[in-house]
Structure 1
Amino acid sequence: MKKVLVVSMVATVLTTSVVSAVSAAPAVKPAASTAQVQNSTLTINGNSVVVRSIVKNGETLVSLRDVIKAIGAQAEVQRGTTVIKLNGHTVTLQNNAKQLLVDGNKVNLNQPVTIIGGTSYVALRPLVSSVGGTIVKRSGLLEVSTVALLEGAENPRFAGTDKLIVSKSDDNGRTDYLVNTTSGKYDLLLTTDGGSDLIVSPSGNQAAYTNADGAVYVIDLKTKASKLITNDTSIKPELVWSADGSAIYFLQGDKGSVIASLNLADGAIKKLVEDKVDYKENLNVSADGKKFIYTVTTLGKVTSDATNVDEDNVSIDFSANQQQIFSYNNEISKPEAAQLTTSTDDKVFVYSVDGQKAYYVSVPSEDGNASLQSVDSSQEATTVYGVHDVEQAILSGGVLYVLAAQDDSNSVIISIDTVTGKQTKLYTVSSDVSSITVAGSQLAVIENGRVLVQAGGSWRAVTK
């Protein structure tokens, strides 16, 4: 099992004199054949920006002054030489020169820095790359990003449109950030020591979490203000939002034996399943809040004399360790857990749409490919996807998304409609992709520790 083009206006803004200097370069003879200046629209650090441009020998060059202003870089001009500073990089351009000097290293240009009407024009891509930025094309428009990206983030979760929650952990606890997937800009969201992960609400506007004592909070992702819902200190190993966002379901107790609900309006807690069965995990709740899918893990059995407390003489049969999937329906008059699986394979990434049928990744105990399976009360597992070795499955909006290893170099991302069963190959990605996350039409992956989002057929890094 395995894992733009927008320019920031908040960076240091050019002074009027600097902008004027960039625009009014020292008098230089115009090119023999003057190209026609036109306006081009780019997305720079999330903003739509119009920059002047020319086409020279089939290559588009952009106004140096316009781009510097849009990306918020510092710039100085002296005797036809422009020095740009941004993101710790220093870039030197000489009028009519066919190269840039980037942090002391020469970078060749296809077209020289061209002067028209006192304005310098240069190729966009090498200019953006020289200050650590990136360029992708989305919906026919170039998107430029020169924002310094967050480093070392993990566990991405979509939070509404064009937003991701990511986390960084160290010895002092965990810090959560809200990242704009268009610009890469990020804001501090929450710092916690011993708290649970943030679980995003169906609307994407809120997230729930517990602190180290078990108290439940809901944080508004716009204002970043947290509200205490209950100070109940029972351990809550898993939080699950209700479909309408009015309640939170959770497993309760250090062994996860109880399924309970928390009303967000008044903080009332109600026990829904209390069958004294320990080690419940992977809680899924139906839209009506009355049916549940979860797993139960049974532990190994002591096979020696149980009265002998000398652990050197105690033997445990770990072959009894099993994880099985159960359903529980509170709609019936005498509800009880129904076991859906009996197999000894590992069962991971367990999901359910309706609280009756479960989808899970089956990992064989011996060599062999992992596969995506479905099972219901018939206890007969059906292979949903088994073409390649399944590394991860996610359920989002009634659609299953599968990350599977195609070969040693490539993995594939597949979508599977849970109603029709239709399978669609979405993308071929590097085998370095270790995980995916999905929300509606939004898709992100983790590749070599970086979070990348899908943007118009291209992958844009939003962390580094």
Structure 2
Amino acid sequence: MKKVLVVSMVATVLTTSGAYAVSAAPATKPAASTSAAQVKNSTFTINGSSVTVRSIVKNGETLVAVRDVIRAMEAQSEMVNGATVIQLNGHTVSLQNKSKQLDVDGTKVNLKQPVTIIGGTSYVALRPLVSSVGGTVELRNGQLEVRTIALLEAAENPRFVGTDGLIVSKNDDQGRNDYLVNTATGKYELLLTTEGGSDLVVSPSGNQAAYTNAEGAVYVIDLKTKASKLITNDTSIKPEMVWSMDESSIYFLQGDKGSVIANLNLADGSITKLVEDKVDYKENLNVSTSGKRFIYSVTTLGKVTADSTNVDEDNVEIDFSANQQQLFSYNNDSEKKEAVQLTTGTDDKVFIYSADGQKAYYVSVPSEDGNASLMSVDASQKPVTIYNEHDVEQAILSGSTLYVLAAQDDKNSVILSIDTVTGQQSKLYTVSSDVSSIVVKGSQIAVVENGQVLVQADGSWRAVTK
């Protein structure tokens, strides 16, 4: 499927083409060298912190103190032959007082206003200064947002961590690198490097994550200290891991065919087999809050119909019409421990979720033309359509709310929420049809669009990778 500098003036939008009133502290002493310009102490939010930046308005354009912005961007600077030389993100920018040009990596960039001196401090237009170091300037909800942190490129598989973080991954020939990305700034740091291991599975609290190495051993990493702890050396294949709600254990499917549902105690590393019914090809494991009920899918494979059973021979015939995927529930707290089949249809079933281990939600994909639909089903074996107004591309269950990504038309998709208790549906956002997936945790939501991860922030989408 498919360093951040947020500049926020209470009542000001900085542009290079107009003058606006600035919410600021009392003006400092007016400069004799400018007829109308007054220096104001303006409040900015830079990299998540509130700072004071001196600014002036000259000939209808807002200029900012070079020294203040350099410090806020955490850029390197020095004086060379009377010029201020700034280095950030691999760019070198040189500016001379009273000059109407910047030297950006050896190329001249024109300014509308010359670099202005007031009280021994240089002032320059913000937009060309930010652009010169590879930053961007955007207007969001009446506030100017400037980005100067270089974003992580070509990252995949975003997962929310806490209130202001994402884990994303990059794969190469040497293995996989996992990074922590700050959703407010885009600043990132390397979290873990593995070769042949599983994806990181984040715990409910977002404080830790579990993963297996190439041999199947299970580790838990503390997402604050970045320290990993070996839980078990057990080498059985663990294709899916699910945290218990109290984070004391991890449930997983065991074996190359996913025949067994097992539990790993994080305190002592012991493994207990909970479901061992000799039914192969279990997938999409969901565990109830109590840890006693499970919902999962089982796929049956095609049948050999020719007389010969040697599948290496060309004359073997296989009836693939027998391929089916069905959903099952299993109550491990019941006296009669056996799986209960929930579905019987031949449709493809994807994005399978359950909170209580009794009712399942899934996306039904028709074998012929028609919209994929969001469905629910329980032991009655009677699927109920929850949403099919548009072609459903993805569904996520977060708490008691379903979040749906659906194709509205060739250019647009919609993201909506559905309350599983009341059934109330709310359209949240219209996004580009290039959005291939969504990520949700609590009130946090992100999308992946053309390989770029964007996070919803105050009604607009903020890119945190590129």
TM (norm. structure 2) is 0.88
Question: How far off its partner does 1:284 sit?
Answer: 0.4
Deviations 1:339-381 (A, max 9, x none): 1111111111111121111111111112222221111112122
In structure 2, the partner of 1:254 is 256
* Matches of 2:279 and 2:418, distance apart in 1: 33
In structure 1, the partner of 2:14 is none
Going from structure 1 to structure 2, the CA distance change for 1:321 and 1:309 (only over 3 Å counts) comes to closer
Q: Which moved more, 1:200-209 or 1:39-48?
A: 39-48
In structure 1, the partner of 2:160 is 158
**Alignment-mate amino acid for residue 409 of structure 2:** D
CA contact (8 A) 2:405 2:438 kept: yes
CA contact (8 A) 1:4 1:460 kept: no
Q: Which moved more, 1:314-323 or 1:139-148?
A: 139-148
* Matches of 1:149 and 1:305, distance apart in 2: 59
Of 288, 291, 297 in structure 2, the residue corresponding to residue 289 of structure 1 is 291
* Matches of 1:334 and 1:260, distance apart in 2: 19
Of 277, 282, 304 in structure 2, the residue corresponding to residue 280 of structure 1 is 282
CA contact (8 A) 1:31 1:114 kept: no
Deviations 1:322-353 (A, max 9, x none): 11111111222102111111111111111112
In structure 2, the partner of 1:241 is 243
Aligned to 1:313, what secondary structure does the other structure show?
Answer: coil
Of 25, 28, 33 in structure 2, the residue corresponding to residue 30 of structure 1 is 33
CA contact (8 A) 2:360 2:377 kept: yes
CA contact (8 A) 2:165 2:181 kept: yes
Aligned to 1:343, what secondary structure does the other structure show?
Answer: coil
* Matches of 1:438 and 1:270, distance apart in 2: 31
CA contact (8 A) 1:214 1:231 kept: yes
CA contact (8 A) 2:249 2:265 kept: yes
Deviations 1:244-285 (A, max 9, x none): 111100001110011111111111211111111110000000
* Matches of 1:338 and 1:93, distance apart in 2: 73
CA contact (8 A) 2:3 2:150 kept: no
Aligned residues: 442
Q: Which moved more, 1:412-421 or 1:243-252?
A: 412-421
Aligned to 2:5, what secondary structure does the other structure show?
Answer: coil
In structure 2, the partner of 1:128 is 130
CA contact (8 A) 1:136 1:460 kept: no
Of 206, 209, 213 in structure 2, the residue corresponding to residue 207 of structure 1 is 209
Question: How far off its partner does 1:156 sit?
Answer: 0.7
- Map 1:305-384; keep pairs closer than 5 Å: 305-308=307-310, 311-384=313-386
CA contact (8 A) 2:260 2:277 kept: yes
* Unaligned runs of at least 5 residues, structure 2: 7-30
**Alignment-mate amino acid for residue 236 of structure 2:** S
* Matches of 2:112 and 2:408, distance apart in 1: 38
Question: How far off its partner does 1:96 sit?
Answer: 4.5
In structure 2, the partner of 1:19 is none
Going from structure 1 to structure 2, the CA distance change for 1:121 and 1:458 (only over 3 Å counts) comes to farther
In structure 2, the partner of 1:50 is 52
Going from structure 1 to structure 2, the CA distance change for 1:409 and 1:309 (only over 3 Å counts) comes to closer
CA contact (8 A) 2:162 2:207 kept: yes
Question: How far off its partner does 1:116 sit?
Answer: 2.5
CA contact (8 A) 1:341 1:379 kept: yes
Deviations 1:136-170 (A, max 9, x none): 56787655432222222111111112111111111
Deviations 1:179-208 (A, max 9, x none): 112222222211111111000001101000
CA contact (8 A) 1:44 1:143 kept: no
**Alignment-mate amino acid for residue 66 of structure 2:** L
* Unaligned runs of at least 5 residues, structure 1: 8-27
Of 389, 403, 406 in structure 2, the residue corresponding to residue 404 of structure 1 is 406
**Alignment-mate amino acid for residue 43 of structure 1:** T
Aligned to 1:179, what secondary structure does the other structure show?
Answer: strand
CA contact (8 A) 2:264 2:270 kept: yes
Of 147, 150, 172 in structure 2, the residue corresponding to residue 148 of structure 1 is 150
In structure 1, the partner of 2:194 is 192
> Identity rate of aligned residues, in percent?
79
**Alignment-mate amino acid for residue 34 of structure 2:** A
**Alignment-mate amino acid for residue 87 of structure 1:** N
CA contact (8 A) 1:283 1:295 kept: yes
**Alignment-mate amino acid for residue 6 of structure 1:** L
Aligned to 2:327, what secondary structure does the other structure show?
Answer: strand
Aligned to 1:68, what secondary structure does the other structure show?
Answer: helix
* Matches of 1:5 and 1:135, distance apart in 2: 10
* Matches of 1:355 and 1:295, distance apart in 2: 12
* Matches of 1:393 and 1:125, distance apart in 2: 40
TM (norm. structure 1) is 0.89
* Matches of 1:339 and 1:52, distance apart in 2: 68
CA contact (8 A) 1:257 1:275 kept: yes
Deviations 1:362-414 (A, max 9, x none): 11112222221111112122222212221111111221111122222222211
Q: Which moved more, 1:243-252 or 1:413-422?
A: 413-422
In structure 2, the partner of 1:6 is 5
